[in-house]
Chain A
Amino acid sequence: MTPIRTVAVAAALSLAATQAFAHAFLKTSDPAVGSTVSRAPAQVEITFTEGVEPHFSTIVVTNAQGAQVQSGAPHLAGSDRQLAVALRPLPPGVYTVVWHATATDTHRTQGKFTFTVAGS
């Protein structure tokens, strides 16, 4: 491949990349990753970098003893990039969120983080 043809292919790839799918990684969350909140949240909502399939994605929230504290299955919240799960009333403590996401192009990703509910 000549250098000129190589540059042309690179330019075409750049255009294609703007319209592509990709792995779905955590972009933001509420509560935020590693944050301390003063009031117990009613849900955990994760915004991903790409659209996800809710039926093939999970969010599990556990307390310091390892007991699950989410209520029901995760669901889309607003767009296919936002996945949320309701929480039971949370007492103060440290909570761990473990998520597995299946992007709309079927790539699977995962992650985990904690947040803290401060005592009153």
Chain B
Amino acid sequence: MRTNLVAAALLSAGMALLAVDRARAHVVAGDRVFPVTLTFDDPGVGDEVTLPQFVYAPGPGGQNEYQFQWEYDKTITPTTAVIYNQGWDVLQQPGSKTRTGFENVVLTGKWQSITLPQSETVVSLGVIREFAGGYATQGIGGDATGATAPTGYFGQGLGALPIGLLRPLAVTGELSYIIPDHRLNTAGDNNGQPFAWNGGLSVQYSIPYLQQNVKHFGMPDLIGRLIPLVELDWFSPAAGPAHGLPETLTVAPGVIYLGDTYQVGLEALIPGNKAAGPHVGAILQVHFFLDDIFPHSLGRPIFN
């Protein structure tokens, strides 16, 4: 979120960066399984790992950004977790040397504060902390200063709807208020960041839920495990100067294959406004559920 030249060049593609640098987790609430969304976090906590996640973010003027990311979620108690995110990026710009570097480390502390199985409701609270990286990180667009973001999460299954074929629908969301360590000045030249809002919203249709709770259509396993969804990711400066960082919206339609111990997701990253960039990108995620793979060791909370 800084305003140096590289960050300015990355602005369009950087909306994808904003969209994918935060934690992900999956959660079960009653009959509902909320899968791991790709561009923002889910409402619950779990022992999980994303390994890997690929992001392709084309920018203006032939610029291309490739991100190779990973995440580890560790439960401390059954309802609290610490989440680690990072990545390694490649930035290609015509006429310039290709830049590579690690993304800033992001740690999240999260508390799944409300779980209502009967109504398929989950609410969590968390704090996201981004740690500023070094020169190489800033070279691929990383922030020069850290930031802290109090965050709220929710998930709501619509299994109570009276129309059976609509009951597989669910919505999830996240809203963060980003508080920078170093506030951007009015001239926009002090490598600071603006106070900002960052939100995510998903609308999902779970075919597993359809076949398990509404009507079994005998679909092949490949189709019966799919969850089509649309994710929205929104960023907006909250107040004060925000040179080079306008409000952006990214729309990410795609599909998730929900396996027993893993999931694979693929989504397009479509700019929702002009500031979000000129071209469509893509995101591919492979995610493992450690609580299912190692239920008696790595997959258990430290304090159960």
Interface 1/0 per residue, A84-105 and B, CB below 8 Å: 0000000000000000000001
Q: Among B52, B216, B292, point to the contact of A6 (Cβ < 8 A).
A: B52
A38 at the interface (CB under 8 A from B): no
CB atoms of B294 and A20 under 8 A apart: yes
CB atoms of B262 and A111 under 8 A apart: no
Known A-B contacts A3-B88, A16-B293, A20-B293; A25 and B51 likewise in contact (beta carbons under 8 Å):
no
CB atoms of B260 and A33 under 8 A apart: no
B286 at the interface (CB under 8 A from A): yes
Residues of B within 8 A of A10 (CB): 51-52, 286
CB atoms of B212 and A111 under 8 A apart: yes
Interface residues of B in 161-176 (CB under 8 A from A): 164
Residues of A within 8 A of B214 (CB): 33-34, 113
- Chain B residue nearest to A104 (CB atoms) is B295
CB atoms of A34 and B295 under 8 A apart: no
Residues of A within 8 A of B33 (CB): 23, 25
Q: How far is the CA of A23 from the CA of B46 in the complex (A)?
A: 13
Known A-B contacts A20-B261, A22-B260; A33 and B30 likewise in contact (beta carbons under 8 Å):
no
B-side binding surface: helix, strand, loop or mixed?
mixed
A71 at the interface (CB under 8 A from B): no
Q: Among A34, A106, A109, point to the contact of B216 (Cβ < 8 A).
A: A34
Residues of A within 8 Å of B, CB-based: how many?
Answer: 32
Q: How far is the CA of A60 from the CA of B128 in the complex (A)?
A: 43
CB atoms of B292 and A21 under 8 A apart: yes
Q: How far is the CA of A26 from the CA of B164 in the complex (A)?
A: 18
Taking residues whose C-beta sits less than 8 angstroms from the other chain, chain B's interface range is 20 to 34
CB atoms of B291 and A50 under 8 A apart: no
Residues of B within 8 A of A64 (CB): none
Q: How far is the CA of A64 from the CA of B137 in the complex (A)?
A: 62
Residues of B within 8 A of A105 (CB): 292, 295-296
- Chain B residue nearest to A98 (CB atoms) is B31
A39 at the interface (CB under 8 A from B): no
Residues of A within 8 A of B260 (CB): 20, 22-23, 49-50
- Chain B residue nearest to A32 (CB atoms) is B216
Known A-B contacts A28-B216, A33-B213; A17 and B262 likewise in contact (beta carbons under 8 Å):
yes
- Chain B residue nearest to A19 (CB atoms) is B293
Interface 1/0 per residue, B272-304 and A, CB below 8 Å: 000000000000001011011111100000000
- Chain A residue nearest to B258 (CB atoms) is A25
Interface residues of A in 8-40 (CB under 8 A from B): 9-10, 13-14, 16-17, 20-23, 25-26, 28-29, 32-35
- Chain A residue nearest to B209 (CB atoms) is A111
B235 at the interface (CB under 8 A from A): no
A42 at the interface (CB under 8 A from B): no
CB atoms of A13 and B49 under 8 A apart: yes
A67 at the interface (CB under 8 A from B): no
B70 at the interface (CB under 8 A from A): yes
Known A-B contacts A22-B261, A23-B260, A110-B30; A33 and B212 likewise in contact (beta carbons under 8 Å):
yes
CB atoms of A110 and B296 under 8 A apart: no
